[in-house]
């Protein structure tokens, strides 16, 4: 499916389930999301991590609404806590076979997202590994001088900000040297097609979710 449609579909489903309470629909979405992830050959370790990560948040919501509420309601507590898994798994379904670059290109080509924003997002994502290396180098350089820079040290983040500003300037110069002009029409290197099947699958999934949402409790 088209990356933009996958993202928009996950967003719509999440918003609809957050506005209307339906435990059965939440469970159906969770089951189908897990099945989809399995069909995409997700690693068992990654699936287990995805299921365990939101457990604390879901349990906290359930405990607050069921054990500490003046009038506990089991169905309401399960419905609201299961939303955490709905949000997590739907986003996981979007990201499992879609890279950030593919999503940015799709939003730019199919949803006419401004190229400046798309390229800015890609630049920010691609600079993250460089920033990690820079922070590691800063900490090592400090330890060689007998200065330990902890994770919450202001000095560490100040030096990291300086590195980021320098990298941003180099990136801007690099884009200009490659002919990037804001607002100018650009050619497409990697086309992201929008197929009729994308509309079909999106419509079918939305119809099924809404049918379950308004007919099941």
- Secondary structure (H, E, C), 117-162: HHHHHHHHHHHHHHHHHHHHHHHHHHHHCCCCCCCCCHHHHHHHHH
Give the burial class of 133: count Cβ atoms within 10 A of its Cβ; 0-12 exposed, 13-18 middle, 19 or more buried: exposed
CA distance 195 to 202: 11
CA distance 64 to 52: 19
Chain segment 84-112, per-residue pLDDT in tens: 999 999 989 888 888 878 888 888 888 87
pLDDT band of residue 192 (cuts 50, 70, 90) is confident
Instruction: Assess whether pLDDT exceeds 80 at residue 217.
Output: no
Q: What is the pTM of this model?
A: 0.74
């Amino acid at each position: 499916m088209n990356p933009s449609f996958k993202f928009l579909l996950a967003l719509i489903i999440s918003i609809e389930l957050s506005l209307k309470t339906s435990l059965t629909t939440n469970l159906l979405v969770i089951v189908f999301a897990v099945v989809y992830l399995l069909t995409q050959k997700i690693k068992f370790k990654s699936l287990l991590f995805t299921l365990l990560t939101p457990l604390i948040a879901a349990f906290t919501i359930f405990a607050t609404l069921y054990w500490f509420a003046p009038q506990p309601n089991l169905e309401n507590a399960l419905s609201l806590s299961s939303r955490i898994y709905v949000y997590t798994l739907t986003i996981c379904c979007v990201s499992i076979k879609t890279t950030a670059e593919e999503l940015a290109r799709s939003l730019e080509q199919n949803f006419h997202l401004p190229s400046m924003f798309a390229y800015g997002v890609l630049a920010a994502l691609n600079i993250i590994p460089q920033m990690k290396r820079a922070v590691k180098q800063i900490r090592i350089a400090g330890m060689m001088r007998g200065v330990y820079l902890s994770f919450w040290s202001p000095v560490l983040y100040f030096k990291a900000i300086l590195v980021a500003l320098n990298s941003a300037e180099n990136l801007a110069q690099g884009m200009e040297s490659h002919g990037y002009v804001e607002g100018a029409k650009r050619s497409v290197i990697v086309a992201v097609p929008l197929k009729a099947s994308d509309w079909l699958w999106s419509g079918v999934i939305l119809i099924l979710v809404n049918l379950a949402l308004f007919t099941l409790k």
